[in-house]
Amino acid sequence: MRYIGVGRRFVALLIDGLITALAWMPFAETSTVDGVYSIRWDGMDFVIPLALTLAYFVVLEGAFGATIGKVVLGIRVRRPDGSRIGFGPALIRNLARVVDAFPYVIPYLVGGIAVIRSDTDQRFGDRWAKTVVILVGTDANVGIEPPAMAATPDPYGLPSPPPGGPPTEPGAGTLPPPPPAT
């Protein structure tokens, strides 16, 4: 497996941040006082977009192993054995963003340091959820055909080709010569 460090993860998070910002905009309360623009969220106007943002990460990572940002960057969240993570670990790793994103004035400083100091490039959320972020196509299960699939007969009842491929006859695969010109 090829583990993904801070760079790609950060760009994926920026993409996801732009997408999830769409959930926050309708709930924002804006004002301008003495030429100073401010934006804030209170009560349910904070809780609803927060829940939508959490759902975005948990549902996409739990079902598909990646958010839109991760898909664009060619990375996936997997278990250390290369299998899908499911919804439980997706919830744990995303609730842990509260810790990984600290201090909030320098977002994800704690998570970034945790990734840099980990042999498997895991932030705290990944460690607690027992997940890793990897490059697409480098998980341990890629290219391994399950034994049940190897013995599956042809769905149309055709005989399987012999080991080593189909037999070839002299001239097989070549076109017949053109008819003589008259």
User: CB-based burial of residue 11 (10 Å sphere; 0-12 exposed, 13-18 middle, 19+ buried)?
Assistant: middle
Given a contact cutoff of 8 angstroms between Cβ atoms, the answer to whether 56 and 16 are in contact is yes
Query: In this predicted structure, what is the pLDDT of residue 23?
Result: 92
Query: In this predicted structure, what is the pLDDT of residue 12?
Result: 96
Query: In this predicted structure, what is the pLDDT of residue 114?
Result: 96
Query: In this predicted structure, what is the pLDDT of residue 168?
Result: 57
The whole-angstrom separation of Cα 38 and Cα 15 is 24
Query: In this predicted structure, what is the pLDDT of residue 150?
Result: 44
Backbone angles phi, psi at 107, to 5 degrees: -55, 140
In this prediction the pTM is 0.72
Which token pair is 121? 């490039």
3-state secondary structure of 29: strand
pLDDT digit string (tens) for the chain, length 182 residues: 999 999 999 999 999 999 999 999 999 999 999 989 999 999 999 999 999 999 999 999 999 999 999 999 999 999 999 999 999 999 999 999 999 999 988 899 999 999 999 999 999 999 999 999 999 988 766 444 444 444 445 555 555 555 655 555 555 556 667 778 76
Which token pair is 139? 């998980």
